[in-house]
Amino acid sequence: MTTIDPNSKPRQASADSQPDTIYSTPLAQVPGFAFDQAVARVFPDMIKRSVPGYAETVAMSGIIAGRYAQPGSNLYDLGCSLGAVTLAMRHGVRAEGCHIIGIDNSASMIERAEHYVALDEGRVPVQMLCADILEYPLERASVTSLNFVLQFIAPEQRLALLSNIAAATLPGGALILSEKLCFPEQEQRLQDELHLDFKRANGYSELEIAQKRSAIENVLIPETEQAHVQRLQAAGFSQVIRWYQCFNFVSFLAIK
């Protein structure tokens, strides 16, 4: 557990992220995708080139946090990776006495996230934790972010996680849930092609696209919009709206 002193001065930043070339050479056997040290090193480049609308989702998470953060409450960034949403929240919060907690089960991600948070000039206290979001006890949450994380969790565990989040959320609090969707067959083909075109436009080769798809198959399990909305309601959120979509990537706002 690392606590960032909000009064400390930021250190000089270092450009230590690298371009994503993980799948650029032929692999005899493509291993399952994991958020390991290799992915942590290239993650900013990888997600920018792989997830359409990612930058907008991160930026708007800060704006949403500014609206829904309540005085003296906790804000959680679950599956925080390198802490992009953590920092967006930090700069969006206006309520007094808030505390932001970023949690990820990848030690490699948390190590780098701590570096980025320490370099940031935000004043809201931040903790970065290497922990399992399925087990970590949440409390007094006014805003929780679950951005492109639920899709990596076993389907049978998803309702329990969302129910825990809802139970810990203060009345009037919110959950930001961003996911990759699946669609009826005809629309699915179009959305897949548009997503592939997006990757090609961002410089990924056909080899990289094919090997990444093989790595992530059976690891990332998308669902329909209806499945997400029904589960959020079953978990205890009273209002669910789809506030953003770019191709097959979507973000919901669930309010308790």
pLDDT per position as a tens digit, 130-156: 999 999 999 999 999 999 999 999 999
Supply φ then ψ for residue 193, to 5 degrees.
-65, -40
- Residue 164's closest CA among 78, 65, 62? 78
- 248 near 195, Cβ under 8 Å? yes
Q: Which amino acid is at 7?
A: N
Q: Is the pLDDT of residue 34 over 70?
A: yes
CA 37 distance to own-chain centroid: 18
- Please state whether 140 falls in left (phi above 0), alpha (psi between -120 and 50) or beta: left
pLDDT of residue 247: 97
**pTM, whole model, 2 decimals?**
0.91
Measured between alpha carbons, how far is 75 from 139 in angstroms, rounded to an integer? 9
Answer yes or no: are the C-beta atoms of 139 and 168 closer than 8 Å.
yes
Largest CA distance in the chain: 54
Q: How confident is the model at residue 107 (pLDDT cuts 50, 70, 90)?
A: very high
- Strand segments, DSSP code E, in the chain are 2-4, 74-78, 99-104, 126-130, 141-147, 169-180, 239-246, 249-255
CA separation for the pair 2, 128 (Å, rounded): 6
* pLDDT tens-digit readout, 196-248: 999 999 999 999 999 999 999 889 999 999 999 999 999 999 999 999 999 99
